[in-house]
Amino acid sequence: NAGVMQNPRHLVRRRGQEARLRCSPMKGHSHVYWYRQLPEEGLKFMVYLQKENIIDESGMPKERFSAEFPKEGPSILRIQQVVRGDSAAYFCASSSNRGSNQPQHFGDGTRLSIL
Amino acid sequence: DQQVKQNSPSLSVQEGRISILNCDYTNSMFDYFLWYKKYPAEGPTFLISISSIKDKNEDGRFTVFLNKSAKHLSLHIVPSQPGDSAVYFCAAAGSGGSYIPTFGRGTSLIVHP
């Protein structure tokens, strides 16, 4: 079952460290989306990427956060100098096409905890 | 500024009865609506969707109703089963530039045996 794979499932970092979250989309999918879920809240869109390109990063904080989706390999969400407020579940989703009628397929998320 | 609102954080239903989950939206540019189901420690799973050109879409025990004039949609599950216990997210997307779905905060459904 080649679904969306995220790793690690759990990540613990101390304040000031870097966090790297990885996402491999479903086979055949070239569109990747990152979401963040804070406790008791819904999924907040962060960034949308297509191979080697950032299409929409309107939901991503301007500082400390970056994302990439290289030609080869998984998509990476990188958080530099993490702070306690970065603690959340980060979900990656993929789709085969762009468009509002294309359901996204989600991974099981990375739970980031900042000590 | 919540564009997609699920005003009931939780819902409790008896097995065999109907579960009705509600969702309201404010952006009239939304033209496609989706429901996702999420179990603890897992990612959301796509359940059912509806285009704004329809007012009803049915898939087995799941039916989604859309009332465009009221900017309201609902998910009906009949009959409800204990395995349906999960968090249900409503999401809305639009072709008017914002094709990435906006999610509500979710409703936690508990179906009692």
The per-residue pLDDT string of chain B (113 residues; one tens digit each, 9 = 90 and over) reads 689 999 999 999 999 999 999 999 998 889 899 999 999 989 999 999 999 999 999 999 999 999 999 999 999 999 999 999 999 999 998 865 557 889 999 999 999 99
Sign of torsion over alpha carbons A84, A21, B49, B32: positive
Collapsing DSSP to helix, strand or coil, A22 comes out as strand
CA-nearest residue to B50 within chain A is A101
> What is each CA distance from A101 to A96, B60, B98, in whole angstroms?
11, 20, 12
- Chain A CB contacts of B99 under 8 Å are 98-100
The tokens 């094709």 sit on which residue?
B99
CA-nearest residue to A95 within chain B is B100
Q: Do A106 and B103 touch (CB under 8 A)?
A: no
Nearest 5°: CA angle at A13, between A54 and B108?
75
What would the pLDDT profile of A10-40 be if each residue is shown by its tens digit?
999 999 999 999 999 999 898 999 999 988 7
Which of B90, B100, B103 to probe by mutation at the A interface, max A CB count within 10 Å? B100
Tokens (6 digits) for B52: 């704004």
| Closest CA of chain A from B12, distance in Å | 18
